[in-house]
């Protein structure tokens, strides 16, 4: 997720700190990774970006050069987190919608944008006009199904 966020120019945030902690737990260890794992809000954007770049270099990771590839990888991670129950549906849909809009990836990620707006409407209203058949009772399962489809369609490409 950190690589995708850096490639897309997004802020390095708490999710990147969580990522660093998970790498340390998994046995990876570099000086900058330890620092990133110990960071807490509020974050200085310049410090966090520089730190993230050092972590990437120290771990020998290869940054994304194609924003579309980074967007697909970020979508994959977010869908995995949603299905694992480690990320709230609202956050996942908002982030994917933002990537879709920022990079004009409507054909690939447009369903997530529509589901974001449908779910948003259903919080306040009984009806929505974005996703045929979506109701308050089934919207979360529709979102999970769309994430499953994304993961099945993009297996091995992220």
Residues 146 and 95 in one domain: yes
Average pLDDT value over all residues in the chain: 92
Number of H-type helices and E-type strands within the chain: 8, 0
Indicate the pTM of the whole model: 0.83
Q: Structurally, how many domains does the chain consist of?
A: 2
Last residue of a domain, one of 40, 59, 78: 59
Q: pLDDT by residue (tens digit) across 82-99?
A: 999 989 999 999 999 999
**Residue 104 — left, alpha, or beta (φ > 0 → left; ψ -120 to 50 → alpha)?**
left
- Residue range of the domain that includes 91: 67-153
Q: Is residue 158 domain-resident?
A: no
Say yes or no to pLDDT of 14 above 60. Answer: yes
Residues 102 and 44 in one domain: no
Residues 71 and 149 in one domain: yes
């Amino acid at each position: 997720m950190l690589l995708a966020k850096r490639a897309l120019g997004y802020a390095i945030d708490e999710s990147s700190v969580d990522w660093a902690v998970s790498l340390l737990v998994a046995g990876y260890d570099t000086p900058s990774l330890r620092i990133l794992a110990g960071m807490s809000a509020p974050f200085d954007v310049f410090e966090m970006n520089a730190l993230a770049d050092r972590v990437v270099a120290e771990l020998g990771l290869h940054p994304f050069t194609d924003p579309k590839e980074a967007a697909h990888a970020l979508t994959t991670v977010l869908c995995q987190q949603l299905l694992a129950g480690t990320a709230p549906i609202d956050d996942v849909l908002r982030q994917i919608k933002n990537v879709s809009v920022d990079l004009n990836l409507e054909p690939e990620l447009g369903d997530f944008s529509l589901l974001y707006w449908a779910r948003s409407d259903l919080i306040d209203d009984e009806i929505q006009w974005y996703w045929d058949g979506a109701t308050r009772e089934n919207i979360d399962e529709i979102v999970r199904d769309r994430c499953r489809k994304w993961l099945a369609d993009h297996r091995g490409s992220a």
